[in-house]
Structure 1
Amino acid sequence: MANLVVFCILAVVIICSAVMCVMTKRIMRVATFLLFVLFGVAGIYFLLDYTFLGAAQISIYAGGITMMYIFAIQLVSKQALQGLVERFKGSRVLSGVLVSLIGLATVAVILLKNEFINAATQVADTEVPMAQIGNSLLGADKFQYVLPFEFISVFLLACIIGGIMIARKEENK
């Protein structure tokens, strides 16, 4: 019963924060509400006893990605952020809804055709040991992930350097 109460609280926090993230007009509040959403998802991982995923959610997404968003927001000039309110036209809203429905129909057809739903309901009988997860994440053999992590870190470093260069060019004007 306690798990259900905690899940309901986390679900309300996630839904309300996600709605506020989309509805607010101030960009720093968007980043703050996104942080609450990511912490709520981490809470659900911890509730399901997925401590590794919960810790990764907090350290990578809630910590790293949100900080990168905040740095990017701070690097952008205040003149570019002021007056950024966009007016929606009826045709754009209609086309957005139409594209979303087409995407939803495509995903539904693929799920039903390939029977992913039946395969997802079958639960594995064995638990994967933490040592095997660690070897997969930090190994350099086939189907291991240290090389993609290195590529991502170099890419993020290049993005940070590019953001700094853009910010310095604006100061020279």
Structure 2
Amino acid sequence: MEASVVVFYILSAFILVTGALAVTSRKIFRSAIWLLFCLTGIAGLYFWLDMQFIAAVQIVVYVGGIVVLIIFSIFLTQQSGKELPPPIRSSAVFSALAVCAGFLLTCILLGQYGRFRVPEPRYDYGGPDMSVSAIGTQLLSTTEHGYVLPFEVVSILLLAAMIGCIVLAIKPKSDEK
């Protein structure tokens, strides 16, 4: 087994374990920290795939933006140290069955249609310019091959995260008698 395959399996296992811990943890702050590790692992996977710009965007937008906002909103709530309620068993069984069915369907479709050949990277061809400045220019371009719409969607995502933090930070009114 090649070293790159071992690195891929290690990164994948790290992402899966931390993602599962983020979902199953009973403490909300610990869930946010596990989410931070999961998203950092995904950025590591992008670095491993030699996509430095996408990895940097992953770190800046999700790890640096979304998770930090989630952690700040947790600290602003009055119930940040309390445990989450236990999951309802019937929905947990249904969720497990749905995940198993989705996994089985994905395996069948990948076995049927998937071709997993990774081409060797070629840096000496006359392909597109992959420098960060060229990517930034294309991100803000309004031409046919510009990406200004996804750039704006990311800004709306950050705005929605900030609004969610504000909503979570609002203290609930106590019942006055």
Q: Calculate the TM-score normalised by the size of structure 2.
A: 0.67
- 2:99 matched residue in structure 1: 100
Q: Deviations over 1:47-102 (max 9, x none)?
A: 333221221221122111211221332344318x735221442x333322322233
- 1:71 matched residue in structure 2: 72
- 2:38 matched residue in structure 1: 37
Which one has more relative contact order, counting CA pairs under 8 Å at least 6 apart? 2
- 2:117 matched residue in structure 1: 121
The CA deviation at 1:160 is: 2.4
CA distance in 1, matches of 2:6, 2:110: 31
CA distance in 1, matches of 2:98, 2:152: 35
SS in structure 2 of the partner of residue 170 of structure 1: coil
The CA deviation at 1:35 is: 1.5
CA distance in 2, matches of 1:72, 1:162: 8
* Equivalent of residue 140 in structure 2, options 138, 149, 155: 138
Structure 1: give runs of 5+ residues left out of the alignment. none
Q: Deviations over 1:126-163 (max 9, x none)?
A: 65422553343221123422133224424533552464
- 2:172 matched residue in structure 1: 170
Identity of aligned residues (%): 35
The one-letter amino acid of 2:84's match is L
Question: Does residue 59 of structure 1 match 2:60?
Answer: yes
Computed over aligned residues only, the root mean square deviation of the Cα atoms, in angstroms, reads 3.7
- 2:85 matched residue in structure 1: 85
SS in structure 2 of the partner of residue 40 of structure 1: helix
Q: Aligned residue pairs: how many?
A: 168
Distance 1:165 1:32, change over 3 A: closer
SS in structure 2 of the partner of residue 103 of structure 1: helix
Q: Calculate the TM-score normalised by the size of structure 1.
A: 0.68
Contact 2:22 2:31 in 1 (8 A): yes
Q: Deviations over 1:1-38 (max 9, x none)?
A: 77667656645544443343334322111111222222
- 1:26 matched residue in structure 2: 27
Distance 1:142 1:57, change over 3 A: same
Distance 1:25 1:97, change over 3 A: closer
Distance 1:77 1:151, change over 3 A: same
CA distance in 2, matches of 1:10, 1:166: 32
CA distance in 2, matches of 1:32, 1:75: 16
